[in-house]
Each structure stands twice: as structure tokens, then as C-alpha cells.
Amino acid sequence: MYLRSVCLALFSLLSVMHICMGLYFHISETERKCFIEEVPEETLVVGNYKCQLHDPKTGGFMLSSPGIGMHV
């Protein structure tokens, strides 16, 4: 009985994870990106973003100064 419950819970978790999708991209300061996606009704779309400045010395990214942002 315990094994059946664990298998059912694992199957349910994997089924939910299968329908999740993500999108990750970089854009430069003068570049524009447009994403057109058909989204079914009653679907919640959540977006998170942050603006970072590229540091050519380290090749990495650092947080931007206050007042620098992005228009969405």
C-alpha cells in the first residue's frame, strides 16, 4: 500500500512538471525582442526579469545602477 502511494505521488509530480515551460534570453541595450505565443484561456503567465550590465573585464554580469531599467 505504501509503495503504491509513493508511486502515485511520483507519477503525479512528474506529470505536472512535464507541462511547465521556460524561456531564457539575453538582449543588448539597442536590441528588441518580440515573442508571440498562443496561450490558452485561463492560463497564468508569470514573467521575471532583471537588468544587469556586462563587465568586459571579467566577462560576467553585474547589477545595474538604480534608475537603469527595461520597458516591458
- 53: β partners: 62
Mean pLDDT value across residues 3-29: 75
pLDDT above 70: percentage of residues in the chain? 82
pLDDT of residue 18: 57
- Tens of pLDDT, residue by residue over 44-72, are 878 777 788 888 899 888 888 777 777 66
Please tell me the pTM assigned to this model.
0.40
Can you give the pLDDT at residue 21?
66
Please report, for the chain, the start and end positions of each structural domain, with discontinuous segments joined by +.
Answer: 2-63
Q: Which H or E element spans position 8?
A: helix 2-18
Q: For the chain, what is the mean pLDDT?
A: 77
Grid cell of 23 as nine digits: 524561456
